[in-house]
Amino acid sequence: MKRKNNTILHARTSTSLQELIEAKMGGMTPTSVKQLLRARRVQVNGAVQTRGDMPLKAGDEVTIISQAATTTLHHPKLSLVYEDDHLIVVNKKPGLITVPSNPDSAETTALSILKAYVKRQHPKNNVYVVHRLDRETSGLLVFARSPQLQEYMRTYWRQLVTKRTYVAMAEGELPEPKGTITTWLTEDKRNAMVYSSPVDDGGQKAITHYEVLGKRTVKSGKDNTEQVISLLALNLETGRTNQIRVHLASIGHPVVGDRKYGHGNTYSPIDRLCLHARILEFIHPATEQIVHFETPIPKEFKV
C-alpha cells in the first residue's frame, strides 16, 4: 500500500523489521534494506527505526519513506527525527535556543531553522512551538504544523505525554540507586529563577523519578581534586520549568555544568549543562496512537 509516495507495510505475524522489508519489498537485498535503515527512511508505528533486528508483532505498521518525498534538513545544531502532516520531531544540539529571546532578535533558533525548512516544502507552510528546551539542554523537541494543533497540544500536554525521560550527569554520589523528588516550584520570571519548597507553599507540585545508571571519579579544579559524578535517568511525572535542574540542586546533586542552579565550576566533560532529553513518548493528537522517539545517550555522558 502507498500513501503520499510512501510505502506502508503491516506485520501479520511476529518477525524482524529486516525480514518483513525483504519479504514485502519485491526481493530487496539485505544490503539495500540496511541502506534504507541508515538513511532513516524506515518508521515503525510512526517512529524512525535504524535496526534491522528490531522485533515486530502482528499489527505493527512499517512505513518506507520515498526518497522523492523527502526534503532534507541540513543543520549542525538540529536534525530531523520524524515528520508528518501534523508534527515535526527534532533532535536539538546544545547551544541552540528553541525560540528567540525577544521578537526582534535575529539569532538563529530551532524555530527559525524549521520555519525555513518547511517553507522550502511549500511557501505557505509554518511550524509552531509545543514545548521548549534550555539553550544548553540537548535532545527531543516537538513542533506542531498548525496553530490549532499547537494550542491543543499545549493545553493537553500532560495528558498526551506517556513517557518523558532525560539523562543527566549530576555532581556527587546519590545515596540510593532509585528515588523520587517531590517539591513545590515557584517561578520568579523577573529574576528568571525557579525556587523549590519541600512543602506546599502555593507553588506547582513537581515530581521527578530518578535512577542511577553509573558513576565515575574525575579530577576537577585547579588542584585536580577528585570528585564523583553520577549518570542518571530521570522520568518526569510533571513538566515544570527547569524542574530537573532545580530538583537535583535541591537534594545537593546539581547537574554538572549548571551555572544557574549548581556550583557552576564543577568538572564538565563537554563544557556545558550535562542534560539531554533522551526519550519522548506521547499520544499522537491526530492518529490517537502512541508514538515513541528516543536518541542515544551522548557519548560524553557515559560512565
* Average pLDDT taken over every residue of the chain: 88
Average pLDDT over residues 240-266: 88
What's the rounded Cα separation, in Å, for the pair 70 and 117? 11
Residues 280-290 have pLDDT tens digits of: 999 999 888 89
Residues 125-181 have pLDDT tens digits of: 899 999 999 999 999 999 999 999 999 999 999 999 999 999 999 999 998 999 999
Contact assessment for residue 89 and residue 140, using Cβ atoms and an 8 Å cutoff: yes
Fold of 163-278: Pseudouridine synthase (3.30.2350)
Q: Counting Cβ atoms within 10 Å, is residue 33 exposed (0-12), middle (13-18) or buried (19+)?
A: buried
Amino acid at 266: T
3-state SS assignment for residue 267: coil
How many CB atoms sit inside 10 A of residue 132's CB?
Answer: 15
**Which of these, 290, 182, 295, lies nearest to 243 by C-alpha position?**
182
| pLDDT of the residue at 1 | 46
Its sign, for the CA torsion 106, 111, 113, 114, is: negative
What's the rounded Cα separation, in Å, for the pair 127 and 88? 8
Residues 220-238 have pLDDT tens digits of: 666 677 888 999 999 999 9
Residue 2 confidence (pLDDT) above 70: no
Contact assessment for residue 208 and residue 237, using Cβ atoms and an 8 Å cutoff: yes
What's the rounded Cα separation, in Å, for the pair 237 and 32? 41
Average pLDDT over residues 247-262: 93
In the chain, ranges of CATH 3.30.2350.10 domains: 75-155, 163-278
Cell of 70: 523527502
Cβ partners under 8 Å of residue 39, min gap 6: none
| pLDDT of the residue at 196 | 94
Domain 2-67: state its class.
alpha beta
DSSP-derived letter for residue 172 is S
| Residues catalogued as catalytic | 134
- Residue 214's pLDDT band, with cuts at 50, 70 and 90, is very high
Q: Among 35-39, 107-111, 259-263, 270-274, which range has the highest average pLDDT?
A: 107-111
Cell of 285: 493528537
Cell of 50: 535504524
Residues 4-15 have pLDDT tens digits of: 567 889 999 999
Beta bridge partners of 61: 10
Residues 47-97 have pLDDT tens digits of: 888 889 999 999 999 988 765 455 678 899 999 988 887 899 999 999 999
| pLDDT of the residue at 217 | 86
Residue 267 confidence (pLDDT) above 60: no
Average pLDDT over residues 206-213: 96
What's the rounded Cα separation, in Å, for the pair 224 and 248? 24
Contact assessment for residue 187 and residue 180, using Cβ atoms and an 8 Å cutoff: no
Cβ partners under 8 Å of residue 202, min gap 6: 184, 186
Q: CATH code for 75-155?
A: 3.30.2350.10
Note the pTM of the prediction, 2 decimals.
Answer: 0.74
Question: H helices within 43-138, ranges in order?
Answer: 110-121
- Residue 3's pLDDT band, with cuts at 50, 70 and 90, is very low
In the chain, ranges of CATH 3.10.290.10 domains: 2-67
What's the rounded Cα separation, in Å, for the pair 238 and 265? 29
| pLDDT of the residue at 184 | 96
| pLDDT of the residue at 98 | 95
Question: H helices within the chain, ranges in order?
Answer: 17-24, 30-38, 110-121, 147-155, 157-160, 243-250
What's the rounded Cα separation, in Å, for the pair 137 and 132? 10
Contact assessment for residue 267 and residue 280, using Cβ atoms and an 8 Å cutoff: no
